[in-house]
Amino acid sequence: MVLTVGQLDRLAETIAIARRARRIALQSVLVGMGLSLACMGIAAAGWLPPTAGALLQEAIDAAVILNALRVLTPGRDRLPRLSGEDAQLTSRFIDEHTHLRGDVERVREVANRLRDVSPDTGLSLVHDVQRFLTGELLPPEEAQERQLYPVVARALGGQDPTGTMSRAHAEIAHRPAHRQAARRHRHRCARRGRRR
């Protein structure tokens, strides 16, 4: 399964769908193989004529395929539910995301404007975006990493269910830090009279 949106509630739904699909697939394979082996044993003992065996095998195949098609129905799987402090924590982060969504869109707008503005204006816009990333976006992302992701991981179970999001946060944190280090290096070189 591939998660193409950045919403935590979609992650829980995706994991529930994947677990259900795997369970139904294993069930279909095991039941189909078990019934087929049983019929082969009965046929080998001479108690099942070849024509009846072939028809029975077709019926087993059809039943297993129909069982596997259950994956296309919504199912009765329940998504993990949070309560108490965990629910309040997730609500807080949902509110923060809603508040920041417009500002994140501003980053895309600045990127689209850079080719149409003067270098000085472009540099000013980029500095504004950098201040936003390091001052407003990164602190809530780091708080999510420390506070929210352990709650989500407990609710979802499995091995590292929030790993891809943690790596995305590391990338967000790395980029501004990398740019700041490069800028400091350029300033040091300029002060020494060298240009790199």
Q: What is the mean pLDDT of each run of 10 residues along the chain (196 residues)?
A: 60 77 92 94 92 92 91 68 78 80 81 86 86 82 80 71 61 57 58 54
Distance CA 65, CA 147 (A): 44
- Residue pointed to by tokens 């108690």: 47
**Residues in contact with 107: Cβ distance below 8 Å, sequence separation at least 6, in sequence order:** 129, 132, 133
pLDDT at 44: 92
pTM: 0.43
DSSP assignment letter at 18: H
Distance CA 83, CA 128 (A): 38
Quote the tokens at residue 195.
Answer: 């240009």
pLDDT at 196: 43
